[in-house]
């Protein structure tokens, strides 16, 4: 069990600081208190409301940032020099090497001098970072991992009390774990923590269960299905536009993070099991139940003691009882939906085929039942819950951070608006627009680079293996840090900069293959996200429709936007924005949408790069 440390293992991972200790502001005073582990450069913080930035104030802020950065680096260097993080290796050569290192001899020189020792040993030992529990307790877990990565490199061992974790930030090691030798790795602690909500659903499942369920579920997200979803994305986003329009009229600021969460919940409910949560307008019992369960998953992943496993606790703790009844309500609702869908299928005359889709109910559930998939009702519920959570939190987080980034870069926002104006005008987006909205797609890709959802992937070795030059034993818990891969200063020019232009518009959509595992927004290998194309289009539609109609700025007096993690990267205090209409009267999409004829025998133009990503997971389908 993942006890004793503050690791999150929800959906895919880490951590949420305990609420009382959350990092909420990035004040100059706060930084030194964080034991020098706070990388100013990677923490977002909004000082202005984005309206009329005062250049003098901005310069002053930048120079304070620079000074703090220097101070932080100096503190870290002195801690490293003191031996606090030094690898404990046996023998005189290691001692000598460490000693020379402390005297300031560069690593390249040491590497050369001691190469004879290294070759004399079969393998090197993985560098170890120790004694940082207090440093990481107060902040989102992946942030200090970035700093340690800059110090220790692409693979190191993090010792936290009795537990140790391997932190991987090297693209070739990530590729080895996720793709080339993926059969040697399981989901480890992730599966343990998520058991109560996802059971043996696709994300936590391993081995034969995973293989069978992946083979059943992947075909449900076929091209025709994804094309049909574009309309759903447009309708749901339009409902959000109406809400924002009312706020713009009333001059009220809006908290966008929770609105994005509701938008994506509404979408995924319809897409997975044809259920309209209508959470943008209602707070029904089922919506509350879903959020109760999601929050519980996050809380469990950061709890030092697994209270929920104590039999009596489950019955007396009001919180656990609430979780149990929320789960019961969700399960009953799912059972009803499954029964309703079965009745529909009995009445329909459609023949099941590869791109089967019921126009009235194109949901994944309908596809699975119509395929006569041989599955228990418990397994089916686990799969549906997994898809619901996987597709909800991630997309909401992507939209939140995309709009945060856009609010800081008015130039990028107006370039984006220019593209949307000329491609879409006032109509709803269609599947063909997905290939035309190239800049919009780059904006989303770049947002996913800076804020990957989840920031870290979890694995456990189930066999002995060799990672880079290091042998590892079975049973190692491993975190592959996408955050680090996406911000590696050696790989990315101006790694911290939000720069959609880094992806040429005439080039392919960036993915893990064409970026050689330095960019992994949807993972890679056989366990790559099954909803990558769905999610990409969902985000493109939402971004395009929103920026077409509104300008977004940080609200005056909005709290600084800090990061914390649950399943994905959340803001610490929401994303409070002022939304203004771009033109008057408000633009609403035309209701005569061009009908899209889908030729199921051919590839939809512009979708090839994304589709080819899917083709790279043959083991999932074979």
Residue numbering of the annotated binding site for heme: 529
Among 203, 265, 472, 569, binds ligand HEM (CB under 6 A): 203
If one asks whether residue 527 binds ligand HEM (CB under 6 A), the answer comes out as: yes
Size of the site for ligand HEM (CB under 6 A): 22
Pick the stretch among 342-350, 353-361, 520-528, 556-564 that binds ligand HEM (CB under 6 A). Answer: 520-528
**Nearer Cβ to ligand HEM (50/269):** 269
- Answer for the pair 328, 27: CB distance below 8 angstroms, yes or no: no
Angle made by CA atoms 284, 286, 290, in degrees to the nearest 5: 125
If one asks whether residue 577 binds ligand HEM (CB under 6 A), the answer comes out as: no
Among 395, 481, 509, 515, binds ligand HEM (CB under 6 A): 395
**Nearer Cβ to ligand HEM (453/481):** 453
**Nearer Cβ to ligand HEM (357/387):** 387
Using CA atoms, how far apart are residues 341 and 377, in angstroms rounded to an integer? 13
Using CA atoms, how far apart are residues 368 and 10, in angstroms rounded to an integer? 26
- Answer for the pair 238, 587: CB distance below 8 angstroms, yes or no: no
If one asks whether residue 366 binds ligand HEM (CB under 6 A), the answer comes out as: no
**Nearer Cβ to ligand HEM (394/564):** 394
- Answer for the pair 142, 14: CB distance below 8 angstroms, yes or no: yes
Smallest distance from ligand HEM to CB 386, Å: 6
If one asks whether residue 138 binds ligand HEM (CB under 6 A), the answer comes out as: no
If one asks whether residue 402 binds ligand HEM (CB under 6 A), the answer comes out as: no
Among 158, 202, 297, 412, binds ligand HEM (CB under 6 A): 202
If one asks whether residue 579 binds ligand HEM (CB under 6 A), the answer comes out as: no
Phi and psi at 148, nearest 5°, equal -65, -35
Among 6, 8, 394, 461, binds ligand HEM (CB under 6 A): 394
Number of neighbouring beta carbons within 10 Å of residue 617 = 21
If one asks whether residue 214 binds ligand HEM (CB under 6 A), the answer comes out as: yes
- Answer for the pair 466, 185: CB distance below 8 angstroms, yes or no: no
Which residue has the CB atom at the shortest distance from ligand HEM?
531
Among 44, 457, 542, 610, binds ligand HEM (CB under 6 A): 457
If one asks whether residue 12 binds ligand HEM (CB under 6 A), the answer comes out as: yes
For 392, left (φ over 0), alpha (ψ -120 to 50), or beta?
Answer: alpha
Closest CA to 126 of 479, 466, 487, 464: 466
H helix intervals, 437-564: 438-450, 482-487, 532-549
Residues of each annotated binding site:
529
- Answer for the pair 228, 431: CB distance below 8 angstroms, yes or no: no
If one asks whether residue 390 binds ligand HEM (CB under 6 A), the answer comes out as: yes
Instruction: Spell out the long-range contacts of 417-422 with Cβ–Cβ below 8 A and sequence spacing 24 or more.
Output: 417/547, 417/548, 417/582, 420/544, 420/547, 420/548, 421/548
Build a one-symbol-per-residue string for 222-241: x at contacts with ligand HEM by CB under 6 A, - elsewhere. --------------------
Buried b (16+ CB within 10 A) or exposed e, 149-171: beebebbbbbbbeeeebbbbbbb
**Nearer Cβ to ligand HEM (530/561):** 530
Cα separations in angstroms, 327 against 185, 193, 220, 265, 330: 30, 15, 25, 17, 5
If one asks whether residue 398 binds ligand HEM (CB under 6 A), the answer comes out as: yes
**Nearer Cβ to ligand HEM (386/484):** 386
**Nearer Cβ to ligand HEM (110/184):** 184
Smallest distance from ligand HEM to CB 395, Å: 5
If one asks whether residue 406 binds ligand HEM (CB under 6 A), the answer comes out as: no
If one asks whether residue 189 binds ligand HEM (CB under 6 A), the answer comes out as: no
List, edge to edge, every strand of the sheet that includes 254-255.
Answer: 254-255, 576-581, 550-554
Among 189, 230, 259, 387, binds ligand HEM (CB under 6 A): 387
Binding interface with ligand HEM (CB under 6 A): 12, 202-203, 214, 386-387, 390-391, 394-395, 398, 453, 457, 521-523, 527, 529-531, 534-535
């Amino acid at each position: 069990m993942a006890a004793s440390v503050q690791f999150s293992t929800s959906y895919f991972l880490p951590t949420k600081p305990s609420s009382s200790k959350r990092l909420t502001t990035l004040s100059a005073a706060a930084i030194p208190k964080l034991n020098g582990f706070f990388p100013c450069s990677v923490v977002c913080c909004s000082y202005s409301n984005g309206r009329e930035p005062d250049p003098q104030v901005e310069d002053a802020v930048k120079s304070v940032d620079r000074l703090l950065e220097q101070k932080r680096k100096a503190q870290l260097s002195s801690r490293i020099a003191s031996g606090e993080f030094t690898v404990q290796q046996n023998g005189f050569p290691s001692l000598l090497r460490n000693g020379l290192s402390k005297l300031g001899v560069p690593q390249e020189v040491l590497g050369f001098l001691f190469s004879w020792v290294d070759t004399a040993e079969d393998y090197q030992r993985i560098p170890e970072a120790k004694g940082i529990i207090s440093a990481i307790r107060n902040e989102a877990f992946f942030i200090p991992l970035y700093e340690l990565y800059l110090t220790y490199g692409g693979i190191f061992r993090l010792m936290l009390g009795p537990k140790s974790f391997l932190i991987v930030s090297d693209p070739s090691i990530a590729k080895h774990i996720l793709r080339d030798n993926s059969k040697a790795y399981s989901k480890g602690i992730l599966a343990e923590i998520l058991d109560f909500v996802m059971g043996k659903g696709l994300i936590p499942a391993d081995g034969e269960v995973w293989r069978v369920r992946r083979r059943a579920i992947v075909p449900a997200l076929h091209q025709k299905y994804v094309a049909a979803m574009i309309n759903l994305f447009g309708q749901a986003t339009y409902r959000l536009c109406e809400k924002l329009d009312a706020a713009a009229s009333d001059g009220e600021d809006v908290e966008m993070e929770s609105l994005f969460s509701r938008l994506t919940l509404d979408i995924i409910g319809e897409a997975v099991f044809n259920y309209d949560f209508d959470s943008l307008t209602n707070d029904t019992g089922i919506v509350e139940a879903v959020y109760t369960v999601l929050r519980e998953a996050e809380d469990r992943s950061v709890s030092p003691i697994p209270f929920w496993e104590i039999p009596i606790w489950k019955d007396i703790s009001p919180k656990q009882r609430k979780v149990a009844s929320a789960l019961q309500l969700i399960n009953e609702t799912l059972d009803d939906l499954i029964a309703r869908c079965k009745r529909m299928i009995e009445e329909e005359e459609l023949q099941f085929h590869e791109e089967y889709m019921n126009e009235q109910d194109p949901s994944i559930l309908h596809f699975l039942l119509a395929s006569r998939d041989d599955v228990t009702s418990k397994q089916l519920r686990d799969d549906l819950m997994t898809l619901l959570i996987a597709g909800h939190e991630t997309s909401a987080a992507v939209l939140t951070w995309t709009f945060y980034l856009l609010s800081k870069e008015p130039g990028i926002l107006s370039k984006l608006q220019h593209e949307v104006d000329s491609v879409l005008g006032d109509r709803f987006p269609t599947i063909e627009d997905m290939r035309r909205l190239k800049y919009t797609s780059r904006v989303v890709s770049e947002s996913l680079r800076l804020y990957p959802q989840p920031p870290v992937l979890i694995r456990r070795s189930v066999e002995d293996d060799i990672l880079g030059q290091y042998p590892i034993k079975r049973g190692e818990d491993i975190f592959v840090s996408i955050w680090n891969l996406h911000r590696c200063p050696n790989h990315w020019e101006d790694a911290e900069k939000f720069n959609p232009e880094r992806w040429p518009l005439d080039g392919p959509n960036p993915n893990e293959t064409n970026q050689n595992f330095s960019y992994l927004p949807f993972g890679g290998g056989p366990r790559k996200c099954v909803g990558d194309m769905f999610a990409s289009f969902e985000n493109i539609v939402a971004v395009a429709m929103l920026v077409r109609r509104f300008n977004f700025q940080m609200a005056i007096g909005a709290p600084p936007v800090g990061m914390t993690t649950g399943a994905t990267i959340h803001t610490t205090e929401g994303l409070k924005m002022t939304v203004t209409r771009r033109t008057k009267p408000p633009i609403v999409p035309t209701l005569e949408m061009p009908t899209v004829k889908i030729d199921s025998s051919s590839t939809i133009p512009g979708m090839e790069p994304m589709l080819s990503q899917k083709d790279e997971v043959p083991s999932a389908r074979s």
